Amino acid sequence: MRHRLLAYAGLERPYRFERTLAVLTALLLAIVAGAAAIHFWMAGKLPPDSPRYWYFVYMAALVGLALLLVPWPRLAAVVLSLATLEAAFGLGTAYLYKVRLLDQTVFPGVEEAEHRFRWRPLLQGVPIPSDGDDIHHNTLGQRGRERTPQSLDGKATIALFGGSTTYDVGGGEGETWGDRLEQLLGADRFAVINHGMLGYSTAEHVIQTAFYERTYGVPPRCAIYYVGWNDLRNSHVRNLDPGYADFHLPGQIDNLEVRRLRQSYVSFSPLLMLVRHFLVLGVDTARAADRHSGQIDSAPDPAMEAIFLRNVRTISAINDQRGIKALWMGQVMNHRRLLAGDSWGWVPFLHAQDVSTLMLRLNDLLKHEAEALGDIYVDIAPQAFASDDFIDDGHFTPSGSRKFAERLAPAVASACR
C-alpha cells in the first residue's frame, strides 16, 4: 500500500515529480482551507447551509478532485489553479478586509440573501407577493395580511410609509407596529396598510404618494410617514443628486438583491462573485451605484436637509390636494447603541455617535416643517424605549413595536376617525 501511494505521488521509480507537486499543492490548500473552516466553526460563524459553509464544501471538492486527477498532472493543475484562485479571492480578501486594507470582500457570508423583492422602475425594488411563515407579502406586494376590496368597505384606511423600520424587519406576522396599530384602533373600523419597504427614503415616498397611495382604488383617510434614517444616509455625499439618484437609489438594486443574476446564485464561489460583479458593471443596463465619494463629517449636511424638507413639502402638498391627512414621525433610534459607536455603517459619512445627534436634529426639522404645513407631527420620545426594544440601531423587536404602536394610536385615532 505504501509503495502504491508513493508511486501515485510520483515518488517511486520512474519518478514523476509533477505528480508530487500536485499532491503537495493540494495538501497545502487542504491545510489552509481546513484551518480556516475550523476557525470559523469554533467562532460560531460557519452555520450549516450558509454560503460560507458551501464555500468550504466547494473547496474540499476541488482539492479532492485534484488528488483524483494526480495521474493526469495537467488536469490536476487546472483544478488546483481554480482552487488557489478561490482561496486567494475568498480567504485573502477576507483577511485584507479584516485589517481594513479593503472596504469590501467577496468571501461568502453567513447568511443567504432572501429573494423577497423584485426590481421595479421608479422604486428600484418592491416586495414579491409571498406567504412566508414569518413575513407575508400580500398579492399587492404589501407587508401584512391579505386585503380585498370588500374588506375595506366602511373602514377608515390608513397608509403607512417608511423604510425598513415601517416594514418592521424585526417582527413576524401580526407583530409589526402596523399590525399592532390596527389592533389598537379596531380592525372592524380601521384598515392599516403597510407600504413600508427596506431602504426607502422620502424620494421613494414622493413616488409612492403620487402613484401608489391607494389600495384597490380606495384612497387612505390618513397617510403616516415614519422617516429620516434613510435620508440621513445621504449626508455628506459629494455633489448629492436632488433625487438621491447617484448614490442611494442605484444602491438599492444591490441592497435588495433584485438583479436578474442574483449574487445568491454564485455566493459559494468568490471567483464567480467577481465575474458577476464585472458582468453587472459591463453589461447590466441598471448600472451599479458609482463608488460614492465624500468625507466623514460631524456637522449637519445642509444639502441633504434641504432635499429632505423639499420632499416633505411635496408629499404634504399631494396629500392636501387629495384631502388626505398627513401625519409625520421622526425616527426613534437606539441612541445608547449609537452613542457607544456600535453601528454597521448604513450611513457611510457619519460616525455612529454623530448619527444620534443628527437624527434628533432631523426629527426636529421635520417637526417644525410638518407644523408649518398644517400637518400633524406625532412626537414619540426615544427615552421611552430601552435597548432591548431594538434588534440593532433602530429596528424594533416585537415588544418595541408594540410600545411604539401604543404611543402612536391615540394621535391616529383622533386625526383619522
Among the candidates 98, 131, 152, a domain finishes at: 98
378-384 average pLDDT score: 94
Say which range, 64-78, 232-246, 269-283, 358-372, has the weakest mean pLDDT. 269-283
Quick one: pLDDT at residue 343? Answer: 61
pLDDT tens digits, one per residue of 16-72: 778 888 889 999 999 999 999 999 999 999 999 899 999 999 999 999 999 999 899
Residue 183's CATH number: 3.40.50.1110
Quick one: pLDDT at residue 413? Answer: 96
pLDDT higher than 90, residue 182? yes
Residue 367 falls within a domain, yes or no?
Answer: yes
pLDDT tens digits, one per residue of 339-357: 887 666 788 889 888 999 9
pLDDT higher than 90, residue 133? no
Residue 331 falls within a domain, yes or no?
Answer: yes
pLDDT higher than 70, residue 215? yes
pLDDT higher than 80, residue 12? no
Whether 94 and 238 share a structural domain: no
Say which range, 79-83, 226-230, 347-351, 391-395, has the weakest mean pLDDT. 347-351
Whether 72 and 127 share a structural domain: no
Whether 172 and 74 share a structural domain: no
Residue 329 falls within a domain, yes or no?
Answer: yes
pLDDT tens digits, one per residue of 286-345: 777 766 666 788 899 999 999 999 999 999 999 999 999 999 999 999 998 888 876 667
Residue 200: give the domain boundaries.
117-416
Among the candidates 38, 66, 98, a domain finishes at: 98
Whether 269 and 192 share a structural domain: yes
Quick one: pLDDT at residue 290? Answer: 66
Quick one: pLDDT at residue 112? Answer: 74
pLDDT bin (cut points 50, 70, 90) of residue 220 is very high
Whether 171 and 268 share a structural domain: yes
Whether 92 and 181 share a structural domain: no
Nine cell digits for residue 343: 453601528
Whether 83 and 134 share a structural domain: no
Whether 28 and 157 share a structural domain: no
Residue 93 falls within a domain, yes or no?
Answer: yes
Among the candidates 36, 71, 98, a domain finishes at: 98
pLDDT tens digits, one per residue of 186-203: 999 999 999 999 999 999
Whether 128 and 53 share a structural domain: no
Residue 193 falls within a domain, yes or no?
Answer: yes
Residue 154 falls within a domain, yes or no?
Answer: yes
Residue 112 falls within a domain, yes or no?
Answer: no
Whether 304 and 399 share a structural domain: yes
Whether 307 and 209 share a structural domain: yes
Quick one: pLDDT at residue 286? Answer: 78
Quick one: pLDDT at residue 344? Answer: 63
Quick one: pLDDT at residue 279? Answer: 86
**Whether the model pTM is above 0.85:** yes
Residue 36 falls within a domain, yes or no?
Answer: yes
Quick one: pLDDT at residue 97? Answer: 86
Whether 258 and 389 share a structural domain: yes
Name the domain count of the chain.
2
Output the average pLDDT for the chain.
91
163-191 average pLDDT score: 95
Quick one: pLDDT at residue 36? Answer: 94
277-290 average pLDDT score: 79
